[in-house]
Amino acid sequence: MAGRGELRHKRRVVFKVGTSTLTHPNGSINLSRVDRLAMVLSDLANMGKEIVLVTSGAIGVGMGKLKIAERPSATAERQALAAVGQCELMQLYSKLFSEYGHVVAQILLTRDVVNSERPRANAANTFETLLKKGIVPIVNENDSVSTEELEIAGRNSSFGDNDTLSAIVAALVKADLLVILSDIDGLYDANPSENPGARLLSHVADITPDIAMAAGGSGSALGTGGMAAKIQAARIAFDSGIDMVLANGENPGAIYDIFDGLAVGTLFSRGPAR
């Protein structure tokens, strides 16, 4: 568990980006942001860090590709869009990362995979092998097969949101740090969209009832889990002994500041605030 100063030493890092970071408010892909993200993550890999990227955005990108303006309500329609969008999204990541000298790999997960021993071990081995080769695994939920509605053996097959997935992946790969990039600067002591005077919390040492209460739902039409999902991710990270930073994904260059120990976003760490 670390204070800010120790973040520079974190070697294996899982990043999560949400749809609101990857797309413009109209739903189209934000090319310059995805490009800068790929550049910064490639640069961190050049510094010797092992990078995993958990990305949302498949449905949004699929909508753009098929020129569909409104997110469909039917599950099968959304899953079809995710199938189209996932290819497109990976094509973009692959192109951008390769421009910066890095190879990416796609891993699509469902809850069943991480809940059952054998597939979980297989997935962990695959991650380990990719990371040892210096490849950047890019992870998403397998949206085309898992939904909240889909019950497999009486169990919900979905992670619900990629925030939870990113924390599960961080635990699976035994990451040193989880960085969740959102459309907001960090965790505030109250939902800022309802409380203009809300203050940004720089350090959270435990998920107390007050912290859980502060976290509300999503503020945007594109976000899914809202802050409650990020707190759930922080719980999983705490339980796994992994530090987590929640920061704004608007400016990917600020990722460097996290590793420089600057007061960016909210650090969730049991260590004392330093």
Q: Rounded to whole angstroms, how far apart are CA atoms 89 and 60?
A: 10
Nearest CA to 46 out of 98, 9, 100, 7 is that of: 100
What CA–CA distance (Å, rounded) separates 89 from 211? 34
Handedness of CA 165, 167, 173, 175 (dihedral sign): positive
Of the listed pieces 36-44, 75-83, 135-143, 186-194, which binds ligand ADP according to CB under 6 A? 186-194
Of 3, 72, 134, 219, which lies in the binding site for ligand ADP, with binding defined by CB under 6 A?
219
Binding piece for ligand ADP, criterion CB under 6 A, among 45-53, 72-80, 82-90, 211-219? 211-219
Residue 224 lies near ligand ADP (rule: CB under 6 A) = yes
Q: Which residue has the tokens 């997960």?
A: 109
**Total site size for ligand ADP, rule CB under 6 A:** 24
Reduced to 3 states (helix: H, G, I; strand: E, B; else coil), residue 166 is helix
State in angstroms the smallest separation of the CB of 259 from ligand ADP.
21
Neighbours of 210 (CB within 10 A): 8
Give 141's strand partners: 109
Q: Which stretch binds ligand ADP (CB under 6 A): 73-81, 82-90, 135-143, 183-191?
A: 183-191
Distance CA 258, CA 44 (A): 12
Minimal distance, residue 217 CB to ligand ADP, in Å:
6
- Per CB under 6 A, 215 contacts ligand ADP: yes
Nearer to ligand ADP, 224 or 240 (CB): 224
In whole angstroms, how close is the CB of 138 to ligand ADP at the nearest point? 17
Smallest separation, CB 99 to ligand ADP (Å) = 25
Residue 62 touches ligand ADP, criterion: CB under 6 A: no
Shortest distance, position 31 Cβ to ligand ADP, whole Å: 18
Q: Where are the beta strands (DSSP E) in 80-119?
A: 104-109
Does residue 27 belong to the site contacting ligand ADP (CB under 6 A)? Answer: no
**Among 93, 97, 159, 188, which residue interacts with ligand ADP (rule: CB under 6 A)?**
188
What is the spatial distance between Cα 224 and Cα 217, in angstroms, rounded to a whole number? 8
Name the minimum Å distance from CB 165 to ligand ADP.
12
Structure token digits, residue 176: 């040193």
Residue corresponding to tokens 């990108």: 61
Residue whose tokens read 């094509």 = 91
Give the footprint of ligand ADP on this chain (CB under 6 A).
18-21, 182-184, 187-188, 190-193, 214-216, 218-220, 223-227
